[in-house]
């Protein structure tokens, strides 16, 4: 089955930076066929879409709350999607999940990685 392995989370002070990685494996089609997204979920809150990147990386979308601070990118040669997070704030504290989609038919989720922003 498809496997998504996330890494890069941790504890950081306000104003700091982290880069999350999501490495995909055991998928059927070429990685470039998949739409990739990052979500996050804080305790007691609904899961929130953070960022989206198109198949070839040419089109990206960011939630208003992270525009100007976060950047989503992908390296299809490495089967990996990234989320660069700068100027982190306590409100960014959440579990961050990678999602891999093929049209509207298949959705795959990573296990999540914890990001904690605290002084």
pLDDT in tens, 58-107: 999 999 999 999 999 999 999 999 999 999 999 999 999 999 999 888 99
Mean pLDDT of the chain: 96
Which residues 6+ apart lie within 8 Å of 99 measured at CB? 36, 37, 38, 39, 107, 108, 109, 110
Residue-level pLDDT at 3: 96
Query: What are the residues facing 116 on neighbouring strands?
Result: 11
Task: Specify the pLDDT at position 27.
Answer: 94
Cα–Cα distance for residue pair 64/106, rounded to 1 Å: 27
Query: What local confidence, expressed as pLDDT, does residue 103 receive?
Result: 83
Predicted local confidence at residue 43, as pLDDT? 92
Q: Which of 111, 106, 97 is nearest to 48 (CA)?
A: 97
Given a cut of 90, whether residue 56 has pLDDT beyond it is: no
């Amino acid at each position: 089955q498809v496997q998504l392995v996330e890494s890069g989370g941790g504890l950081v002070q306000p104003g700091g930076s982290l880069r999350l990685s999501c490495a995909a494996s055991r998928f059927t089609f070429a990685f470039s066929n998949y739409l990739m997204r990052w979500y996050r979920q804080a305790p007691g809150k609904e899961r929130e879409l953070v960022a989206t990147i198109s198949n070839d990386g040419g089109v990206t979308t960011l939630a208003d709350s992270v525009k100007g601070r976060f950047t989503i990118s992908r390296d299809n040669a490495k089967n990996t999607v990234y989320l660069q997070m700068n100027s982190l704030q306590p409100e960014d504290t959440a579990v961050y999940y990678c999602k891999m989609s093929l049209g509207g038919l298949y959705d795959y989720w990573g296990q999540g990685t914890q990001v904690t922003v605290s002084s």
